[in-house]
Amino acid sequence: MALMQGKKCLIMGVANHRSIAWGIARALHREGAELAFTYQNDRLKGNVEKLVAELEGHENMPLLPCDVTIEGQLEALFDELGKRWGKLDVLVHSMAYARTEDLTGRFIDITADGYKLAHEISAWSLIGAAKYAKPLMEAAGGGSIITMTYMASERVVERYNVMATAKAALECNVRYLAAELGPSNIRVNGISAGPIRTLAASAVKGLSDIRDLMEEKAPLRRNVTQDEVGDVGLFLASDLSRCVTGEIIHADNGFNIVGVTL
């Protein structure tokens, strides 16, 4: 039997074929999971539809709208999922956004509105999603919630700015949610991936320099791939990680352990 046979998984945050969430979705699908996807708005819906069409059985994969900045949409998403599935085994949360000026400008010039927006979409949305996923996961006898973070939460990465603070908050959310949801057999973990050329990462100037540095300095002397991170997501989604919760797993070929002078 495939590792995820019979498991129902919601993927939030696929933007295009380079998305980390798409790598995880492919890995889950490979192992027999039933998938549902969200899209932020009609402009991005087409991208998700085209990707999902590549998967066998895509006709039965729900595509549901969810913009976390619009009140009521998160609740409506999980209400609809409950009507269709009645339970949920895995939630993949892969959403992040910040205004360009709050990434490329001076850190001291970040506006209150920009700070709030980055944290609402990139960090608070995990809390909101977990709240509404909880009863569906309890109906399944437990579940796994997985989110995406980055090393800039731990140390200064040039031009990451407000997103670094949002990722730090996200990692704190992982720990508190893990502690609170554990009695319901719901696990919460984060993946801190190495730099991948995703749509979100394209807003961070100097990404190519970081990737070059990884090839030179990471213990495994290479960059991480979307498929590799996808398999880490599969591990966290599956029963193989049933005793793992509240963790931030670095999927970066060991780059985070190395002291580097830039």
Structure tokens of 75? 């609740």
Distance of CA 118 to the CA centre of its chain: 15
Helix then strand then coil, in percent of the chain rounded to 5, is 50, 15, 35
Residues 6+ apart with CB under 8 A from 237: 4, 7, 9, 24, 28, 33, 89, 90, 92, 144, 146
Closest CA to 120 of 143, 104, 149, 97: 97
User: Which positions are catalytic?
Assistant: 150, 160
CB 74 within 8 A of CB 49: no
Continuous segment of H or E residues that includes residue 169: helix 161-181
Continuous segment of H or E residues that includes residue 161: helix 161-181
